[in-house]
Amino acid sequence: MALPPSPTAGVRDDDPAMSAQPIDDLSAELFQITAALRARLDWMRHGGVDGCPVPVQRPARSAQPQARSGPVADLPRSGAKAPQRPASVHPNAPVEPTWSAPSPDDPAALARAAVEQTSRMAARSQTAAPRSPVRSEAASTATTESPSGIVYPELASLPSGADGLRIIREVIGDCRRCNLCHGRNQLVFGEGHPEPWLAFIGEGPGADEDRTGLPFVGAAGDLLSKMIKAMGEHAHKLGFAELGTRLSREQVYIANVVKCRPPGNRTPEADEIAACGGFVRAQLAVLRPRVIVALGRTPTQFLLQNAAPLGRLRGQFGSWQGVPVMPTYHPAYLLRTPSAKGQVWDDLKLVILKLAELANLMPSGPSA
Ligand code: URA
């Protein structure tokens, strides 16, 4: 079937038909196009994704993430189901956004939102000033660590710990910011101690996490639980008793770069990381962990903003906002490649020594 000719087909810059169009008409058309683009930007900013409705505003419910309690022995093991947590402490309890979208009939509100969006995009391209290891990153809307990441001004100046986490969860709401919303069953916010010494950041939820709303509860999660337990035991063996108590699944925090399961467990796309990355950055800012372990390539490249292969980055500390980051292999990779377990254990032992050093449990200096 013949396609209709493009409206601009055959038109050249020097075409008299072009120059004959009055300038006023052109600027009116340009104005309309700009207004339409602004309205679309604003719609996307408020959660609009093609094919996904903007979330309906409902009264907010409280969802205060809490550390789990109970012995490490209660944690899921291979083949075992994740233990049931009381609904009231589920970190994924849905909370609606606290902002309300301007009506599409209100051009002034749309214009204001478009201006806000533009200033946010401009802020993103600026260079953040060097900051102290006190992680108030969320207070800065300008960041170089994720040039393509969206910065959410609602996450500026958050309180630390559980209160900050609760606000981040509220801002995420019933998220429709990227296409991952289409396939998810549950959004996986993160779980653990709100003031941990150590945080683990993975890539994104898998099938078990999508079903339960909790991070790392599948086979890879079982292995991660064992790794954390082994770290605690090793710290005790080295004589770092207090550190040992901080290294249990309940005492660390675990989250992912993206909060919704990518279809078929594929690697998250750049735009999905850009839409979601601001939330894990805000989580880390309020958690203030002393050390971060990046599990796999995606969180490593995201946190360190370094595209080098994981094999080259693992085993040595990088830095996120002044916090030491240890990149290492993902537990799912270890399940496929058990021969890499020794390298990961070496990396985790360096993390233990770094934590001991930061807690003044041992003299600082190059750690073995
Ligand atoms: N893999 C991840 O990266 N995160 C999870 O939560 C589970 C598996």
Kindly report the protein residue whose alpha carbon is nearest to atom 7 of ligand 1. Answer: 216
Task: With a cut of 60, say whether residue 145 has pLDDT above it.
Answer: no
The whole-angstrom separation of Cα 360 and Cα 252 is: 19
What are the phi and psi torsion angles at 34 (to 5°)? Answer: -60, -40
Q: Average per-residue pLDDT in the chain?
A: 73
pLDDT of residue 24: 57
How large is the average pLDDT for residues 267-278?
A: 97
pLDDT of residue 149: 84
pLDDT of residue 105: 41
pLDDT of residue 321: 96
pLDDT of residue 192: 98
Q: Are 259 and 188 contacting, i.e. CB atoms less than 8 angstroms apart?
A: yes
Task: With a cut of 70, say whether residue 191 has pLDDT above it.
Answer: yes
Domains along the chain with CATH numbers: 117-358 (3.40.470.10)
Most confident of 32-41, 90-99, 154-163: 154-163
- Of the listed ranges 37-41, 92-96, 144-148, the least confidently predicted one is 92-96
Coil, helix or strand at residue 254: strand
DSSP H stretches of helix in the chain = 16-19, 23-45, 107-124, 161-172, 207-212, 219-237, 241-246, 270-287, 297-304, 310-313, 331-336, 341-358
**pLDDT above 70 covers what percent of the chain?**
58
DSSP string, 258-299: SSSPPGGGPPPPHHHHHHHHHHHHHHHHHH--SEEEEESHHH
How large is the average pLDDT for residues 105-134?
A: 34
Q: Is 206 in the pocket of ligand 1 (CB under 6 A)?
A: yes
Q: Are 304 and 268 contacting, i.e. CB atoms less than 8 angstroms apart?
A: no
Order of strands, edge to edge, in the sheet holding 323-328?
Answer: 191-192, 253-256, 198-202, 291-295, 323-328, 318-320
The ligand 1 atom at the shortest distance from the C-alpha of residue 330 is 3
Rg (CA), the chain: 24
> 110 CA distance to ligand 1 centroid (A)?
38
The whole-angstrom separation of Cα 132 and Cα 140 is: 13
The ligand 1 atom at the shortest distance from the C-alpha of residue 299 is 3
- Of the listed ranges 36-40, 128-132, 238-242, 261-265, the least confidently predicted one is 128-132
How large is the average pLDDT for residues 136-160?
A: 66
> What does each C-alpha distance from 363 to 42, 339, 355 come to in angstroms?
53, 33, 11
Q: Count other C-beta atoms under 10 Å from residue 204's C-beta.
A: 26
> 120 CA distance to ligand 1 centroid (A)?
30
pLDDT of residue 362: 76
Model pLDDT for residues 202-225, shown as the tens digit of each residue: 999 999 999 999 999 999 999 999
Task: With a cut of 50, say whether residue 288 has pLDDT above it.
Answer: yes
Q: Is 204 in the pocket of ligand 1 (CB under 6 A)?
A: yes
Q: Is 203 in the pocket of ligand 1 (CB under 6 A)?
A: yes
Q: Which of 191, 203, 217, 295 to mutate to test the pocket of ligand 1 (most atoms within 8 A of CB)?
A: 203
Task: With residue 80 as reference, give the H or E element that holds it.
Answer: none
The ligand 1 atom at the shortest distance from the C-alpha of residue 208 is 7
Q: Is 216 in the pocket of ligand 1 (CB under 6 A)?
A: yes
Q: Is 209 in the pocket of ligand 1 (CB under 6 A)?
A: yes
The ligand 1 atom at the shortest distance from the C-alpha of residue 298 is 3
pLDDT of residue 308: 98
The ligand 1 atom at the shortest distance from the C-alpha of residue 256 is 4
Model pLDDT for residues 53-75, shown as the tens digit of each residue: 333 333 333 333 333 333 223 22
How large is the average pLDDT for residues 182-204?
A: 98
The whole-angstrom separation of Cα 94 and Cα 86 is: 15
> What does each C-alpha distance from 64 to 115, 167, 322 come to in angstroms?
33, 9, 27
Banded pLDDT at 38 (limits 50, 70, 90) = low
The whole-angstrom separation of Cα 312 and Cα 100 is: 45
Task: With a cut of 70, say whether residue 182 has pLDDT above it.
Answer: yes
pLDDT of residue 283: 98
Q: Is 231 in the pocket of ligand 1 (CB under 6 A)?
A: no
How large is the average pLDDT for residues 227-236?
A: 98
